[in-house]
Amino acid sequence: MKREEIKVCVMRVGGTNCDAETQRAFQELGVQAETLHLNELIKRRNLLDYQVLVFPGGFSFGDYVRAGVILARWLSAELGKELKTFIEENRPILGICNGFQVLVEYGLLPGFEGVSAYPEATLATNIPQGYNCRWIHLKHENKGKCIFTSKIPTGKVLHIPVAHSEGRFLFPKEKEQQLLDKLYENDMMVLRYCNENGEYAEGSYPTNPNGSFHDIAGICNKDGTIFGLMPHPERALYWWQQPDWTRREQMPQYGDGKLFFESLIDYLAKKF
């Protein structure tokens, strides 16, 4: 498939607010990206016209009840069928920040045995508590499964911002170790918080900005086609979005965020 034929659906509902910059990131790389309200998708029933589905950041439906949960339930009720086909055809789904919360609430991530009926993990309120907007470092952990990071060498340290108040990745306490092992066994671990030298945060704030278990910042499903992350790659796309660009003599044209979109497009161009 040619790059310019690829169609990305950036889905929004009331409270989604990172759709424009997410759409822009895809367009910057030469693919077609459209922002569609869920109401429109339900009306048109054309989800399968798109090769990629993206849940951008924001506060879908106000994040009332729990972050992402209302959208997840609404989706499952209204678009469950199409979504099932979408996933079975291994079409990629990306969830950024609130989108990650939606994927977890839907049961798509981690999705050890496919879509789970109940969430198998959660993105709990930050420790320390409260909204936190800052640039952090991430270590790429994936060995090759995740199609969203295929162009990022394993072990590479990335610089990207986070901005959320519910991003503390947790497994049920009693199954914590077992599920963590499973993440590694299936190559589903993708991103972990670390310092600028690549040393894991080991839970220390603010290197790990939210108290996530095992410094987890992003995971994929066992097929590597569904990926959720708390940090915002779309805010680290251009050089001038970097927090320290005025210090550099020479900046690369793009930031680390671009690598995710680039990897995804690479996969699509080959697969479809």
User: Is 97 among the catalytic positions?
Assistant: yes
Q: Which amino acid is at 245?
A: W
Tokens, residue 211: 């108290």
Q: How far is the CB of 190 from another protein (least distance, A)?
A: 22
Question: What DSSP state is assigned to residue 205?
Answer: T
Per-residue CA distances from 157 to 104, 138, 262 (Å): 25, 5, 17
Question: Of 9, 97, 146, 220, which is the active-site residue?
Answer: 97
Per-residue CA distances from 150 to 190, 197, 235, 253, 265 (Å): 11, 22, 20, 20, 10
User: Is 220 among the catalytic positions?
Assistant: no
Spatial distance between the Cα atoms of 176 and 220, rounded to a whole number of angstroms: 17
Question: Of 21, 120, 234, 262, which is the active-site residue?
Answer: 234
Q: In degrees to the nearest 10, what's the CA dihedral of 199, 205, 211, 217?
A: -50
User: Is 82 among the catalytic positions?
Assistant: no
Which residues contact another protein by CB under 8 A? 14-18, 20-21, 24, 37, 39-40, 57-59, 61-62, 128, 130-134, 161, 163, 232, 234-235, 237, 240-241, 243-244, 246-247
Q: How far is the CB of 124 from another protein (least distance, A)?
A: 18
Q: How far is the CB of 137 from another protein (least distance, A)?
A: 11
- Which residues are known catalytic residues? 97, 232, 234
